[in-house]
C-alpha cells in the first residue's frame, strides 16, 4: 500500500548538530517519515550582510513596518515554493511560525495544514524585552506586539498546531494544539560507571551564542554571578560551548578563566566533562535543549525558573533552580563542593531525559495527542 504524501516546509536544515531548531525539525521529520512519503522543501535565501550597521538598518525598517525580523526574512518566496511543490499532499507541515504566511498557498495543495511552533514568538519577544537593555528592550516590546497581531492573523489558518510544552500550549488560542516535546536522539550515557571520575574543574554554558536569550544569559552570568563563583572557587574554569562566539566576546575577553569552545560537534561529550551545567536564562519560550543535553550527559544543572520551563523538572530532584544572582551563585558553589549531590541530580536528570525527552518518547507523546 502506498503511503500518503506529506509536504515538510522548513527554513533551516533538519538535522542533529545544527542547533536546537534543526534538531527539533529533524525529530519531527523522522516521525513523519514513519507514516508518510515526505517531500521536504528548504529555503534558499538571499544572503544578508552580517555587519552590525546593516542589521540595525534592516531591523529599523522592520520596526517601522511592524514586521518582526525572522517573519520578514522568510516571507515573499511564494513563487519559488509553488515551483517546488509536486502535486497533492495529505498534509502540509510548516516549521516555525516565521513561515506561517504560506498557509494560503499550501492550502491549495494540502488536505490538512500543521504548523510546528518551536517557540511562541510573541512570548519570546516579550520576555526578551524584560531581560534586555534599551534600545533592544524597546525594539523587542514592539516586535512582541507585532507577533501577537500576526499570531492572531495566521494561526487560525492551520488545522493543527504543535507546541513544545504544556505552558506553550496554553498560550495559543486555537481549538487543536498538541504537545510535541523538544527531544534528543537516544544517546548512550557517557561514563556510566563512576560518572564523577572524569569530571574536570569546569562549569559550562552551551548554545548558539548569538541567539539573543543566550546573549542575555551570558551577560547576566558574567556580570552578576561569575565574580562570586570565581572568588570562591579559584580552580574553576567557565566554558562556553557553541557557534558564533563573537556575539558574546565583550563578556568573555580579558579573563583567562573563561574559555570559549567553538565549533562543537558533540555537545554532550563536552558537557560530560563538566561538574555543573548552566541555564541562566531570563527570556525564551519552548524548552531548552541545553538542559536536555546536560541531562543526557548525566550532569547536574543550575537553571533559572524560566530556563527550566516546560520540562516538569523539580527543584532539588532533577536540577537546582535559582532566579536571584546570589542564589544562583550559591547553587553553583554548593554543587561544586558536593559530589554526591552532583551525582544524584545527574542521575535523576538522565532518567527524566530517558523517560520523556528522547525522540521515541516525544513521538509517543504526539501520538497520544492525536498524531499528525
48 pLDDT above the threshold of 90: no
Task: Check residue 265 and give its pLDDT.
Answer: 82
Phi, psi of 281, deg, nearest 5: -90, 140
Q: Structure pTM? A: 0.93
Q: How far is CA 272 from CA 204, 275, 277, in A?
A: 10, 8, 9
d(CA 362, CA 24): 10
| Chain segment 96-127, per-residue pLDDT in tens | 999 999 999 999 999 999 999 999 999 999 99
pLDDT-wise least confident of 63-67, 197-201, 247-251: 63-67
Number of domains in the chain: 2
Band (pLDDT 50/70/90 cuts) for residue 47 is very low
Give me the mean pLDDT over the 209-230 stretch.
97
- Contact call for residues 98 and 76 (beta carbons, < 8 A): no
272 pLDDT above the threshold of 50: yes
**Residue 222, domain CATH:** 3.40.50.2000
| Chain segment 57-67, per-residue pLDDT in tens | 566 777 667 78
Task: Check residue 198 and give its pLDDT.
Answer: 74
172 plus 203 within the same structural domain? no
Band (pLDDT 50/70/90 cuts) for residue 195 is very low
d(CA 125, CA 131): 10
Give me the mean pLDDT over the 84-88 stretch.
93
338 pLDDT above the threshold of 80: yes
Task: Check residue 264 and give its pLDDT.
Answer: 83
Task: Check residue 283 and give its pLDDT.
Answer: 95
As given in the structure block, the three cell numbers for residue 19 are: 542547533
87 plus 141 within the same structural domain? yes
- Contact call for residues 328 and 280 (beta carbons, < 8 A): yes
Task: Check residue 55 and give its pLDDT.
Answer: 61
123 plus 230 within the same structural domain? no
d(CA 249, CA 215): 10
* High-pLDDT (> 70) share of the chain, %: 92
211 plus 158 within the same structural domain? no
363 plus 351 within the same structural domain? no
309 plus 203 within the same structural domain? yes
Q: Is residue 189 part of a domain?
A: no
d(CA 272, CA 169): 32
Structural domain boundaries enclosing 300: 195-356
Q: How far is CA 266 from CA 158, 165, 214, 269, 357, in A?
A: 36, 25, 19, 6, 18
194 pLDDT above the threshold of 70: no
Amino acid at each position: 500500500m502506498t503511503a500518503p504524501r506529506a509536504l515538510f516546509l522548513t527554513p533551516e536544515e533538519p538535522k542533529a548538530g545544527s542547533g536546537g531548531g534543526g534538531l527539533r525539525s529533524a525529530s519531527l521529520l523522522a516521525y513523519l517519515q514513519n507514516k508518510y512519503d515526505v517531500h521536504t522543501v528548504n529555503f534558499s535565501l538571499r544572503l544578508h550582510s552580517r555587519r552590525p550597521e546593516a542589521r540595525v538598518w534592516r531591523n529599523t525598517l522592520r520596526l517601522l513596518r511592524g514586521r518582526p525580523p525572522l517573519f520578514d526574512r522568510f516571507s515573499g518566496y511564494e513563487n519559488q515554493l509553488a515551483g517546488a511543490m509536486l502535486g497533492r499532499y495529505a498534509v502540509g507541515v510548516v516549521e516555525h511560525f516565521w513561515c506561517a504566511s504560506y498557509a494560503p498557498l499550501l492550502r491549495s495543495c494540502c488536505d490538512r495544514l500543521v504548523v510546528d511552533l518551536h517557540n511562541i514568538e510573541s512570548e519570546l519577544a516579550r520576555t526578551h524585552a524584560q531581560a534586555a537593555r534599551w534600545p533592544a528592550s524597546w525594539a523587542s516590546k514592539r516586535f512582541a506586539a507585532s507577533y501577537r497581531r500576526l499570531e492572531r492573523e495566521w494561526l487560525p489558518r492551520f488545522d493543527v498546531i504543535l507546541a513544545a510544552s504544556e505552558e506553550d500550549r496554553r498560550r495559543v488560542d486555537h481549538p487543536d494544539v498538541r504537545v510535541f516535546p523538544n527531544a534528543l536522539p537516544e544517546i548512550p550515557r557517557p561514563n556510566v560507571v563512576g560518572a564523577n571520575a572524569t569530571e574536570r574543574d569546569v562549569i559550562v554554558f552551551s548554545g548558539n551564542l548569538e541567539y539573543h536569550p543566550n546573549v542575555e544569559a551570558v551577560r547576566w552570568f558574567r556580570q552578576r554571578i561569575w565574580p562570586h563563583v570565581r572568588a570562591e572557587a579559584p580552580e574553576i574554569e567557565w566554558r562556553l560551548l557553541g557557534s558564533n562566539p563573537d556575539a558574546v566576546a565583550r563578556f568573555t575577553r580579558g579573563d583567562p578563566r573563561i574559555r570559549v569552545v567553538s565549533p562543537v560537534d558533540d555537545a554532550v561529550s563536552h558537557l560530560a566533562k563538566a561538574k555543573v551545567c548552566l541555564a541562566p536564562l531570563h527570556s525564551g519560550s519552548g524548552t531548552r535543549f541545553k538542559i536536555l543535553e546536560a541531562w543526557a550527559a548525566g550532569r547536574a544543572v543550575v537553571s533559572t525558573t524560566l530556563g527550566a520551563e516546560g520540562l516538569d523538572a523539580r527543584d532539588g530532584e532533577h536540577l537546582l533552580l535559582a532566579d536571584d544572582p546570589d542564589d544562583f551563585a550559591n547553587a553553583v558553589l554548593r554543587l561544586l563542593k558536593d559530589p554526591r549531590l552532583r551525582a544524584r541530580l545527574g542521575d535523576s536528570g538522565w532518567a527524566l531525559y530517558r523517560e520523556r525527552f528522547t525522540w521515541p518518547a516525544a513521538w509517543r507523546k504526539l501520538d497520544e495527542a492525536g498524531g499528525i
